[in-house]
Each structure stands twice: as structure tokens, then as C-alpha cells.
Amino acid sequence: MSAILSAEHVTRRFSPRITLGDRIAAALGAKVDRRPVQAVTDVSLEVRQGETLGLVGESGCGKSTLGRMLAGILAPSEGEVLLSGTAPMRGKHKTTTRIQTVFQDPFASLNPRMRIGETIAEGPITHGLVTRARAPEMVAEWLRRVGLDPAFATRFPHQFSGGQRQRVAIARALAMQPEVLVCDEPVASLDVSIQAQILNLFLELRQDLGLTCLFISHDLSVVRHVSDRVAVMYLGRIVEMGEAARVYAAPRHPYTQGLLHSVPKLVLDSNAALEFRPITGELPSPLSPPPGCAFHPRCPKATELCRGERPPLSPREDGTLVACHHA
Ligand code: SF4
């Protein structure tokens, strides 16, 4: 499968905003840390035609920042984002219709004063994908495809439940006929039963439409459900990337192993017990990443080598990429 969207050595730094709290602290003589935060460091990956790449990691690991760079919403500080058939995109490229996004909070991403029929039709009309005359038919078709009654086109966002609003957000994104869909925590704000419905809808649409997708989630079980390949992020870098079935069956990186053991799992044997060994400690601040392997303060296998030298992301015999001295 060829790459349709890729990141080449992308890094993203954020300059901290000066808040009122900072001003007050400075006026009182306190030291305020003004260093830029590096959320993503030197990441390269590709999303291949027709696949779903899952991007997983703890909150604050940089996965949403990476997703926003790939979606063209944020410009990388260094490196390039490449969309097949176009020149490298060093800045924002949100003007393209070829990449569409679905975010965690559909209510925030829908205009509360716009009927959802108009919300779905607005982009395709603006970009010449449908005429005004054909728009109602197109809206009805997309509402049906995401499991909503076409009559709902006249309703406003506040008249829908969270799950229904996420269906609207998916319909709006797909009506733009994107080549790549970037989903950032699309089910994180929903109840578990609704999460399952939205994930099943996503799987159906993926199969019917042959979607290419970057699926970002902190939830390993969600990513496992939908992904062909998976990339695991820790403190702004990819630490393991490979076929999802392989990574879940035999994770190599101690962080991936820790994430999998952090999910409570019922063992259905005679001793029915919970196998639950969470990763200890907190994700370090990106302002002061640990030297060497950034995971070493939390890693049960850390050695002197780990504390002094950062392991490169390098291929193993089965094609999986792993950043660990001892895996
Ligand atoms: S390089 Fe060392 S500290 Fe880092 S994950 Fe591997 S074993 Fe653990």
C-alpha cells in the first residue's frame, strides 16, 4: 500500500502564552518558566491508502498535536507534512478538502445556530462538490448513511444527543469526499454503549467507502478495534509502530507493554482475577524531558545505557519499529 499522507521528521514547539497568573507571579517576584514546550519531536510516519493507522498514548504525549499537523490545522516547527500528489506542506494546509477531521467534542465543532442540513451541505457547496439544487438529496443520503433520519436535517445541534452529534460530525466530514479522515478521540466523550455504536458505524463506513484514516485515542481497546497498524507515542516521540495484531499480541517496548497491562482485564479461569499492572509514575513534563530514554524513570527494565543514551526508533526482523535498547 502506498502512503497517502506522511510526516517527515516533524517537530512542534509552542511558545507559552503570558497569562494573568504569570503577570501576577512575576510582579510578586516569582520566577515564571517561559521556555517553549516541545510537544512533538522528530516524528516520521505514513498513513497508507485504505488503512486505519491508530495513534495511541497517554494524555499529553503529543498525539493530538501530531494529528493536527497531519490534518493541516497546525504547521510543524520543523519537518514536512506530505500529501500524495502535492508539494511538501511546511505551513498550514487546511484549505485542502482532501483531509477532513472528526474531533472529540462534536458540540463544539458544530455551529449552534445552523441547522445540521446546512452544516453538512455548506462545505460541499462551497467547494463545488454539489450544487445547491442537489444539496438536500446529498444531505439526506449522508444522514441515512450515518444512521440518522433524513428529517433531522432541519434540527439544530442542541436537539441531538452526544452520539447523534458525533454522527452528524462524521456525515459532515464524509460529505466532503475526503481522501483521509483524521479522527481525534472521536468517542472519548461518549458513554461506553454509545462508543460501541459509533465505532461500529466507523467500521461499516470504512469498509463501504474504503476510507483511509488516522485514528487517535488514549484508549488502547478503542484503537485495537479499528486499526490495521498502530503507532505508540511517548513524550512527543513514536516508541513502537507496526501491525496492530502483532503489537497487541506481542508488544516489544516496555511502555507499550505497560499500557496493555494498565487495562483491567478479567481472567476467566478458576481463579477469576484481575490482571492489572499499571505503569507507575507520571508522564514527565515536556519542558524537562529525562535524558537518555525518556521512559527510563518509569521503566522496570532501565539500565545505565538507558539513562545516558536515547534509543533510536529502529526496525526489528518482523518490520516493527521500536525505540528501546533492550527490546
Ligand atoms: S531503552 Fe531502557 S528505559 Fe527505555 S524503554 Fe527500553 S529498557 Fe526501558
Domains of the chain and any CATH numbers: 3-98+178-251 (3.40.50.300)
Q: Which grid cell is 97? A: 478538502
Q: What is the CA radius of gyration of the chain?
A: 21
Contact between residue 223 and residue 188 where contact means Cβ atoms under 8 Å apart: no
Instruction: Give the model's pLDDT for residue 265.
Output: 59
Out of 295, 298, 310, 316, mutate this one to test ligand 1's pocket (max ligand atoms within 8 Å of CB): namely 295
Q: What are the cell numbers at 156?
A: 439544530
User: Distance between CA atoms of 232 and 213, rounded to whole angstroms?
Assistant: 16
The reported pLDDT for the residue numbered 84 is 86
| Residue 327 alpha carbon to ligand 1 centre in Å | 8
In the reported structure, the alpha carbon of residue 59 is separated from the centroid of ligand 1 by a whole-number distance in angstroms of 20
**CA 326 to centroid of ligand 1, rounded, Å:** 6
* Of 229, 188, 231, nearest in space to 52 by CA: 229
Nearest CA residue ID for atom 1, ligand 1: 324
Question: Could you identify the residue written with the cell 452528524?
Answer: 168
Beta 237-243 vs 229-234: how paired, if at all? Answer: antiparallel
For residue 227, report the phi and psi dihedrals to the nearest 5 degrees: -100, 145
306 alpha carbon to ligand 1 midpoint, in Å?
6
Q: Is 307 in the pocket of ligand 1 (CB under 6 A)?
A: no
Ligand 1, atom nearest to 306 Cα? 2
Q: How far apart are CA 193 and CA 196, in angstroms?
A: 5
Q: 43 has which bridge partners?
A: 10
SS3 39: strand
Give the model's pLDDT for residue 22.
Answer: 79
User: Can you give the pLDDT at residue 35?
Assistant: 82
Give Cα separations from 311 to 9, 46, 178, 233, 326 (angstroms). 16, 21, 37, 14, 9
| Residue 178 Cβ contacting ligand 1 at under 6 Å | no
* 293 CA closest ligand 1 atom index: 4
For the Cβ of 310 lying below 6 angstroms from any atom of ligand 1, the answer is no
What's the pLDDT score for residue 214? 97
Write the residue with the smallest CA distance to atom 6 of ligand 1: 324
* Strand order across the beta sheet in which 3-14 lies: 37-48, 3-14, 78-83
pLDDT for the residue numbered 109: 80
Answer yes or no: are the C-beta atoms of 44 and 6 closer than 8 Å: yes
Say how many Å lie between the CA of residue 323 and the centre of ligand 1: 8
DSSP H helices, 113-227, are 116-126, 135-145, 162-174, 192-209, 220-226
Which of 294, 209, 221, 218 is CA-nearest to residue 253? 294
Question: Quick check: helix, strand or coil at residue 117?
Answer: helix
Here the cell at position 39 is 510537544
pLDDT of amino acid 270: 47
Neighbouring C-beta atoms of residue 243, cutoff 10 Å? 15
pLDDT on residue 28: 86
Cα–chain center distance at 195: 16
Q: Which residues of the chain have pLDDT under 50?
A: 266-274
Distance CA 314, CA 310 (A): 12
Q: What is the pTM of this model?
A: 0.90
Q: Is the CB of 293 under 6 A from ligand 1?
A: yes
